[in-house]
Structure 1
Amino acid sequence: MNRNAKRIVGNISVGAFLAGVVAILAVNHVDPDFLTNDAELTAEANAGTPIVQGPIVPLELPTAKATTPAQVENARQIALDMGRSEATWDKNCVAWNPAESGGARQQWANRVAASWLESAGAGCPDAMTWPYYYVESFDSTAPGQLRITMEQAVASDPQIFTDAPGDLEFIAEEVIDATHQKFTDLETVHVVVEGHSSTSSVGVAGRLESAR
């Protein structure tokens, strides 16, 4: 094919292409949806196409202090979703809030509790190891008397609890050992379990005598 023939063929091809473009634009002018993707056809075309997920960002235990019931429940649920147990969910002590009502005796109990926790390097019982994370609260029923209440869940822990009184005396003994020098007015530590009637009590004098 000579040069003139090639030029003619090329011009015809370009002309045909331009005519096609003009025709498409004309149709689209009449039907604006002509060049719009059909949602159903697109869905069918994409069916079976693997979906690539972005990186999974791991949850982190809350660290901000929870000051309302809603915040406490939200922090608790996050911890449970991460696999923490009900007894140990507050590892970061965001919900630990010793009782402030109860007057001077409650404040005294709070100070004894804080001293014991400090001796263990913990900010709250949930930050401690088994079985101390079962500790629920501290209070005082009379001068010199410290009462430690354990969560009801401890009753279902076969490694620590039976129906016989005295099973929790070792907790009372450890609290006495850690605090009696600072709190010379501490006389007795009682350990009770929420929902149970048994009490484990250890007197400071008896504990010090047995430790000699």
Structure 2
Amino acid sequence: MKKTLMLLPVLAALALTGCSAGNQSSDTTPSGAATPGATVSTEISDTEAAKAAAIESGRPESAWDKKCIAWETPSGNGDNQDWANELGSKWLDSHNGAGCPDAIAWPSYYVESWGSSQDGELIFYAEDTESTEWVSIAQDAMCKLSDEESLESVRVLTLSGEAKAHWGRSEMEKTSVC
């Protein structure tokens, strides 16, 4: 999602360039056709300004969206997306009502999305980083959602699809992590 946001200013600039082409002089009021592009640009500017302000205040770039202004509920990540969204929302709520992963402390703010293609398995999709704490994300989610009988395991994959961690009920029974 964050990579998509970085692409938006480029697309907006291209759209605006197309809208401004023609024989308009610098003192001519733009036509109504340019207005929608300006609205998109303003929205992008608000998001980009919020991101810049968060990073300037010391927030890591991976977790700039602490106020969850750019977060969207995941979609299209498997056949069990509704179930995954229900559990993902409960996981966020278990973190003092966080509205998105960026509002949670490290390393959970690396989570970009979630989904499920297999009954009982919740998959978190996380940024491609050098973090070594992937298993703590899976453990945290499994512990916080352990009362959900339908949940058997949590897997963490990077956005590029690399498997990073797995934690399930069998691992919970062997340890005292929760």
* Higher RCO, 1 vs 2 (CA within 8 Å, ≥6 residues apart): 2
Deviation at residue 77 of structure 1 after TM alignment: 3.2
Identity %: 33
* Structure 1 CA distance for aligned equivalents of residues 160 and 77 of structure 2: 21
Tell me whether 1:136 sits opposite 2:88 in the alignment: no
CA shift, 1:85, in A, is 2.3
SS at match of 1:207: helix
What RMSD, in angstroms, separates the aligned Cα atoms of the two structures? 2.5
Deviation at 1:202, TM superposition (A): 1.5
Q: TM-score, normalised on structure 1?
A: 0.55
Deviating beyond 6 angstroms after TM superposition, the runs of 4 or more aligned structure 1 residues are none
Determine if the alignment matches structure 1 residue 205 to structure 2 residue 151.
no
Provide the aligned length of Structure 1 versus Structure 2. Answer: 134
Q: Which structure has the larger Rg? A: 1
**Matched residue of 2:156: which SS?**
strand
TM-score normalised by the chain length of structure 2: 0.64
CA deviation map 1:136-194 (0-9, x unaligned)? 11111211111111112x32xxxx42xxxxx522221111111120x211111101223
Question: SS at the partner of 1:141?
Answer: coil
1:47-66 superposed matches below 5 A: none
Structure 2 CA distance, aligned partners of 1:138 and 1:103? 9
Separation (CA, whole Å) in 2 of partners of 1:178 and 1:134: 18
Q: Which stretch shifts more, 121-130 or 101-110?
A: 101-110
In structure 1, which of residues 73, 79, 100 is the aligned counterpart of residue 48 of structure 2? 73
Q: After superposition, what is the alpha-carbon deviation per residue over 1:52-92, rounded to whole angstroms, capped at 9, x for unaligned?
A: xxxxxxxxxxxxxxxx6665434323433444321111011
SS at match of 1:136: strand
For 2:70 and 2:48, locate their aligned partners in 1 and report how far apart those are by CA, in whole Å: 9
Name the aligned partner's letter for residue 77 of structure 1: A
- Output the CA distance in 1 between the equivalents of 2:58 and 2:174: 43
Q: After the TM superposition, which of the residue ranges 71-80 and 113-122 deviates more from structure 2?
A: 71-80
Name the stretch that deviates more: 102-111 or 118-127.
102-111
Distance 1:143 1:196, change over 3 A: closer
Q: 1:110 aligns with which of 62, 82, 85?
A: 85
Q: Does 1:168 align with 2:143?
A: no
Q: 1:151 to 1:140 in 2, by over 3 A?
A: same
**Structure 1 partner of 2:69:** 94
Which ranges in structure 2 are unaligned for 5 or more consecutive residues? 1-42
Partner of 2:8: none
5+ residue gaps in structure 1?
1-67, 162-166
Q: Is the 8 A contact 2:77 2:114 kept in 1?
A: no
What is the rounded CA distance, in whole Å, between the counterparts of 2:113 and 2:77 in structure 1? 13
